[in-house]
Amino acid sequence: MSKIHIPTPLRQYAGKQPAVEVTAATVGEALSGLVSKHPDLRRHLYTDDGKLRAFVNVYLNDEDVRYLQKEATTLKDSDSISIIPSIAGGR
Amino acid sequence: MLKINHKEYEALRLHGEETYPHECCGVLLGQMNEDGRVVTSIARCGNTRTDSPQNRYHIDPRELVRIQREGRERGEDIVGFYHSHPDHPALWSQTDLAEAHWLGCSYVITSVEKGKAEVTNSFELGGSDESDKQFADEKIELV
């Protein structure tokens, strides 16, 4: 099982849970499993054409999956996935 | 409403003075409740916008993952963020809104005039998704 950590704003769409456990072989499968369990999360994570939103960062342990094999990145048991919306701004 | 103790409040204002004339940025950790957010600690972050640090900020998501994990181990959640506006009012900008994605969290802004922290305001990011998000003024209660 891999654990997906849900950021505070999205927990209301994930049964108010801080983390969701899924059985998956890849990061993509884990995210698909997550939105299957909690369909209300989909529009917050994906665009209408099914792409992960640009401001949604997905980390496998401490690595950005964009710099691994993206959604094809394979998972080991006890891996930890974090969904982290970006933080930026300025005057 | 955002509840924060004096120590953390002064620490985030001081951070803005230390990084002046660049923007500072950091994370507010604590608990969400029915009345709003209660801050129990803050985490300073580096500003990765080295191309334009005087008027832009960005927090490395890797740093956020670490802060979120360390907060979790202490029983704290991310409840908001802070940054400074060097020589500019403590009001949210269109850039701040466009780049804000943590709905239901607090965004604290401190104006730093000539190196001295002046006004600190907080704004709650409301709305149901990206299409209708907006900032609303929120009271800061020092505890």
d(CA B81, CA B26): 6
Best residue of A13, A41, A67, A87 to probe chain B, by most B CBs closer than 10 Å = A87
Nearest neighbour of A62 by CB, restricted to B62, B78, B107: B62
The C-alpha angle with vertex B137 and arms to B129 and B8, in degrees rounded to 5, equals 100
Phi, psi dihedrals of residue A33, rounded to the nearest 5°: -60, -40
How far apart are the CA of A88 and the nearest CA of chain B, in angstroms?
A: 4
- What does the pLDDT look like over A57-88, one tens digit per residue? 999 999 999 999 999 999 998 899 999 999 99
**Min Cα–Cα distance to chain B from A44, Å:** 7
Q: Can you give the pLDDT at residue A58?
A: 97
Q: Residue A64: list chain B partners with CB under 8 A.
A: 61-62
Across the interface, do A90 and B68 touch by the CB < 8 Å criterion? no
What is the model's pLDDT at position B35? 86
> Is there a contact between B95 and A89 if contact means CB atoms under 8 Å apart?
yes
Nearest-angstrom CA–CA distance, A37 and A20: 9
Picking from B129, B132, B126, the residue whose alpha carbon sits closest to that of residue B104 is: B126
The DSSP 8-state label assigned to residue B91 in this structure reads: S
> Cα angle vertex A72, ends A69, A74, to 5°?
90
* Residue A16 to residue B43: CA distance in whole angstroms: 24
Judged by a CB distance cut-off of 8 A, whether residue A70 touches chain B is no
Distance CA B15, CA B59 (A): 15
Asked if the Cβ–Cβ distance from B101 to A9 is below 8 Å, we say yes
Marked catalytic residue, from B8, B17, B18, B23: B23
| ipTM for the whole complex | 0.93
Q: B23: closest CA among B99, B85, B75, B104?
A: B85
CB neighbour class for A50 (10 Å; exposed up to 12, middle 13-18, buried from 19) = exposed
Count Cα atoms within 13 angstroms, Cβ side, for B117: 20
The number of CA neighbours under 13 Å toward the Cβ of A75 is 24
Does the annotation count B130 as an active-site position? no
The reported pTM is 0.96
pLDDT of residue B113: 98
Does A1 score more than 90 pLDDT? no
The predicted-structure confidence for B85-140, as pLDDT tens digits, reads as follows: 999 999 999 999 999 999 999 999 999 999 999 999 999 999 999 999 999 999 99
